[in-house]
Structure formats: C-alpha cells, structure tokens
C-alpha cells in the first residue's frame, strides 16, 4: 500500500538538514560520517526518542544503540535529568562530542522532516496520541505497550493501515525462544486440540498511595506530562514509575503484564487478530488513595473456538492444556516444560506452521521492517487485540458481571455501561 503522508527526507539529506532542524548546533562524531565500520548515513534509520526514563534508556535507547544502522537524532522528555542521562548513555557509544536535539515538547521531534522513526517510551495515556501524530507526520513508530483504552487502540490500528506505516508494539516476547516455541507447538497441535489456557501475572503492589498534592519538582514539565489526560495535582507517588497504577494514566498491572503473556496465549490460540467472546471475573483495588487500579484479579475468558483462558494474579506462568497433553513454563522466560518429553523434542516440519519472529530482538525487527516495509512481528492490529483482552478484563471486574464481547464490532452487545468505558475524552486543548 502506498503511503499518503507528508514525504520524509531521504536519509542522505540527514547531515545537511539536521543542522537546520535543531536550534543547538550538532557536533557530528566520526562514526556519523560512515567511518569506524558503521553504515553510511544513507543506510541508517534516524530515530527520535520520545520518553527517555528508565525503560526508555535501559531497554529502548540501549536496544537501538546496539544496532549499527540506528542513528539517534533527538531526545525528548518532560524531565531534564532524563535527557541528561540519555545524552550520557549515547556518548558512551559515539564519544563525548556527540549531541543531538533535546526538548521537552515531543511535537518538535515529530515535525522534523529528517526523522525516519520515533521510539515512544512514555506513560500509557500518551501512547496512541503520540503514535497517531507521528504516523500522520510521515514517521514509522515503535511504541511501548499497551494502548490506554479500546477506542484509542482501534484508532491506532486504523491509522497505521491507512497510512501504510510500520508500527511495532514494543514487547520482546515474540523474539524469546521459549514463548515462540510454546506457541508453535500449540499451533501445530503437539498437545492435541487446545482446550484451556492458564495465565498467571504479577500482583500489583498492595498499597493505596498518597494523593497529597506537592510542588512540582524543578526540571519537570508537569503540564506536558499530564498532556491529554485529566488534570490532577502533582504528587510524588506518580513519578517516575508508579503512574502505572493510577487509572488516569494507565490500566494497572493487568495490561502492563497481560500484554506479555496474553500475546503468547492469543498467538498460540490463533486468535491474535480476533479475541475472546466472553469475560467475567472479580478483583480487588483501593477505592481511596492514589493507586486505584486492580491489584488482584481472577478472570475467565472464553473464545468462540471453545478455548477457555483463566488469568490469575500472583506470579508469572503460562500453560496450554490440550486433548493430548500440556506445555508451559513457570517464571518470566522460564524453561519450557511439557507433559511428555516427546512434545519438547518435537520438530516442526517445513510444511507446518512457522510463526514469524526475530531472535535478534524487537529493535532489530523494527529496523528491518522499516527498510522492507513489511509488518514487524507484533504489528498495531495484533497489539490492539491483545490490549483489548486486558481492557475488557478491567471493565468486567469494574462492573462485576459477566460480559459478552463481539470481536467483529468491538462492542459489548446490549451493555451501554460497558461500552462507555471503552473510551475517554482528551483534555483540552489536546486533540487529533
């Protein structure tokens, strides 16, 4: 599909245009000129990093710095200290002379014509807003999971399709051998017909959190941090990590960790483009305090193919049960186990189902996809469907009743209360 966005600069124009796009002068290290064995600038993907906190640096900036054809050209974060840490990290590879655009306003990065792609590592409520804006500006996008709600997920998936953009939902699971192998064994019926999936996810920290307003720390643009989310005063318990458990900004531990193991479950069940048709469950959360998402949950999902999926809080484990055995693991990236050694020794034949992966990792997969214009291994539609599993679980626990879900219309039939919970208006003046 031909892309219909604003044309981007060729990477050969990078060194010429970057100086015009950045207010501060850039000092270009020798590696940026194609020396030191690195690919020439024309062969590199220029990347703007939106959000460079602990995960944005530790996982994503470091992940791209390992790839010789990735060139960071901008660091954006609402906290000055995070930008300083990102520059320090990049200089370990490129040398002390390295510098690039730094800003607290992500729109400045998205507006640059010489930026090929953006890496978004922000709180959840920013994920779709930034992604859609970047895609409309002609960028490819790798964005941390999950979407904030169902309606935003659908907007993202439709935008990616309309513009022909490359979008990678950022989780590493599909590049991890144990989860890829597990899904292939199930898809190729090594345990017979799949009947039941057991998913165990971590339990959220059981604390209410202190919502007492506090002065905004120096160096933090708090208004930009809140962005399209509802305005509430700053309090120390939100940053830098615990915003995940505040419903104004995220959905809690269920979508945070569910995006990992639910993805393998959907992959193995061949429902990654679809989803369950029924959900019910109960959970616990604090009604008073800062942290108001579910910290404990017990959910049952049912699929139209007859498969039942149980999701419980209290650890990390995944198990698939079929008519002829089971396969699974305990612990994050735990070793594979099965009801029979024959299942583990099984060879997937050339004519059988081979699931797409990139064992070199999600960042390598994204760069290759940008160059080939093929979907990465965890594209927007699949990521949206996975996040939806998490969101409908939260909605069912909130309403405390069994709900039917129609994956085709993406609606709860006959449930107006549930359908209203699939979206949220953005705070003015933020709009797409």
* pLDDT for 280 beyond 70: yes
Averaged pLDDT, 30-39: 58
Task: Please state, for a pLDDT cut of 70, what percent of the chain lies above it.
Answer: 91
Q: CA nearest 79: which of 108, 52, 99?
A: 52
* pLDDT tens digit sequence for 386-400: 999 999 999 999 999
The stretch 356-366 carries a mean pLDDT of: 98
Confidence of residue 304 (pLDDT cuts 50, 70, 90): very high
Domain with CATH 3.30.360.10 in the chain: 174-207+237-355+379-420
What is residue 21's predicted lDDT score, i.e. its pLDDT? 40
Q: Per-residue pLDDT for 10 more than 50?
A: no
**Higher pLDDT residue, 33 or 379?**
379
Q: In the chain, pLDDT over 90 holds for what percent of residues? A: 88
User: DSSP string of 39-74?
Assistant: PPGGGSEEEEEE--SHHIIIIIIHHHHTSTTEEEEE
**Where in the chain do CATH 3.40.50.720 domains reside?**
11-165
pLDDT at 220: 98
Secondary-structure class of domain 174-207+237-355+379-420 per CATH: alpha beta
Q: How confident is the model at residue 205 (pLDDT cuts 50, 70, 90)?
A: confident
DSSP-derived secondary structure letter, 254 = H
Strand 194-201 with 308-313, pairing: parallel
Band of the pLDDT at 289, cuts 50, 70, 90?
very high
pLDDT digits (tens, 9 = 90+) for 336-352: 999 999 999 999 999 99
**Residues 150-168: pLDDT tens digits?**
999 999 999 999 999 999 9
**Strand (E) positions, 223-362?**
278-284, 296-302, 308-313, 317-322, 325-330, 337-338
Using DSSP's 3-state secondary structure scheme, residue 279 falls into strand
- State the average pLDDT for the chain: 92
Residue 17 pLDDT greater than 80, yes or no: no
- Homologous superfamily, domain 11-165: NAD(P)-binding Rossmann-like Domain (3.40.50.720)
In this predicted structure, what is the pLDDT of residue 4?
Answer: 38
Per-residue model confidence (pLDDT) at position 40: 77
Range name among 11-20, 131-140, 215-224, 315-324 with the lowest pLDDT average: 11-20
* pLDDT above 60 for 315: yes
Alpha carbons within 13 A on the beta-carbon side of 315: 11
Token pair for 400: 């405390």
**The pLDDT of residue 213:** 96
Structure confidence at residue 34 as a pLDDT band (50, 70, 90): low
pLDDT band at 204 (very low <50, low <70, confident <90, very high): confident
Q: What is the pLDDT of residue 18?
A: 39
279 or 20, which is more confident: 279
Q: Across residues 127-136, what is the average pLDDT?
A: 98
What pLDDT, in 10s, does the model give residues 242-272?
A: 999 999 999 999 999 999 999 999 999 999 9
What pLDDT was estimated at residue 36?
Answer: 58
Tell which residue, 147, 146, 142, 140, has the closest CA to residue 164: 140
Per-residue pLDDT, 207: 86
Distance CA 44, CA 38 (A): 9
Q: Place 372 in a pLDDT band, splitting at 50, 70 and 90.
A: very high
Distance CA 414, CA 272 (A): 25
Q: Is residue 43 within 8 Å of residue 175, measured between CB atoms?
A: no
Lowest mean pLDDT among 127-131, 204-208, 330-334: 204-208
The residue behind tokens 């612990």 is 331
Per-residue pLDDT at 27: 44
Kindly tell me the burial class for residue 212, based on how many C-beta atoms sit within 10 Å of its own C-beta (0-12, 13-18, 19 or more).
Answer: exposed
Instruction: Say whether 236 sits in a helix, a strand or coil.
Output: coil
């Amino acid at each position: 599909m031909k892309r219909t966005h604003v044309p981007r600069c060729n990477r050969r124009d990078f060194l010429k245009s970057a100086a015009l796009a950045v207010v501060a002068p850039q000092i270009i290290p020798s590696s940026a000129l194609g020396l030191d064995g690195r690919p020439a600038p024309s062969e590199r993907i220029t990347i703007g990093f939106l959000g460079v906190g602990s995960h944005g640096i530790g996982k994503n900036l470091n992940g791209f710095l390992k790839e010789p054809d990735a060139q960071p050209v901008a660091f954006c974060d609402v906290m000055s200290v995070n930008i300083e840490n990102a520059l320090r990290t990049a200089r370990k590879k490129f040398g002390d002379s390295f510098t690039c655009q730094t800003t607290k306003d992500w729109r400045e990065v998205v507006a640059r014509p010489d930026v090929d792609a953006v890496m978004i590592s922000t709180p959840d409520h920013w994920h779709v807003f930034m992604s859609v804006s970047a895609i409309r500006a002609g960028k490819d996008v790798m964005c941390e999971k999950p979407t904030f709600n169902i309606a935003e997920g659908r907007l993202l998936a439709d935008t990616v399709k309309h513009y022909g953009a490359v979008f990678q939902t950022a989780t590493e699971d599909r590049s991890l051998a144990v989860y890829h192998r597990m899904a292939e064994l199930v898809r190729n019926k090594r345990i017979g017909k799949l009947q039941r999936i057991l998913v165990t996810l971590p339990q959220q920290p059981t604390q209410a959190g202190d919502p007492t307003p506090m002065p905004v720390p120096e160096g933090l643009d708090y208004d930009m941090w809140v962005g399209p989310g509802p305005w509430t005063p700053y309090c120390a318990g939100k940053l830098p990590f615990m915003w995940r458990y505040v419903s104004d900004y995220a959905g809690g531990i269920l979508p945070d960790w569910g995006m990992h193991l639910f993805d393998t479950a959907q992959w193995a069940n061949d429902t990654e483009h679809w989803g369950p048709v029924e959900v019910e469950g109960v959970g616990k959360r604090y009604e008073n305090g800062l942290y108001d998402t579910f910290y404990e949950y017990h959910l049952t999902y049912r699929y139209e193919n007859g498969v039942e999926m149980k999701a419980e809080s209290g650890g990390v484990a995944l198990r698939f049960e079929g008519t002829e055995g089971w396969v699974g693991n305990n612990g994050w990236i735990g070793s594979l186990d099965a009801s029979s050694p024959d299942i583990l020794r099984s060879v997937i034949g050339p004519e059988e189902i081979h699931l797409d992966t990139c064992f070199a990792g999600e960042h390598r997969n994204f760069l290759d996809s940008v160059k080939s214009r093929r979907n990465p291994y965890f594209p927007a539609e699949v990521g949206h469907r996975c996040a939806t599993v998490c969101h409908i679980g939260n909605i069912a626990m909130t309403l405390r009743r069994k709900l039917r879900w129609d994956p085709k219309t993406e609606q709860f039939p006959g449930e107006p209360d549930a359908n209203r919970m699939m979206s949220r208006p953005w705070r003015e003046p933020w709009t797409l």
